[in-house]
Amino acid sequence: MMAGIQPRKAERDGFLPIRTNGFDRGFISVVILILVHLLWMRFLEGLLPLWVATVLCLALAVFIIRKG
């Protein structure tokens, strides 16, 4: 490695308002999954089953990890 040259990190700009790497986007996805499931159980469990929230959150997680 040449002196004075830093290795480039795998951070990138996406639609999220911060620079993120893969771990950051995965962590944000898990936090959103937990929040959505808690809110779903509180307000929508009687109308729609919980697996619907899981499918929606997994689709959102794939989008965040790829584009975020």
pLDDT by residue (tens digit) across 10-32?
Answer: 677 788 788 888 899 999 999 99
Radius of gyration over every alpha carbon of the chain, rounded to an integer in angstroms: 17
pLDDT tens digit sequence for 24-59: 999 999 999 999 999 999 999 999 999 999 999 999
As a whole number of angstroms, the distance between CA 57 and CA 3 comes to: 45
| Residue entry with tokens 């509180």 | 42
The two tokens of residue 38 are: 């808690």
* pTM given for the model: 0.77
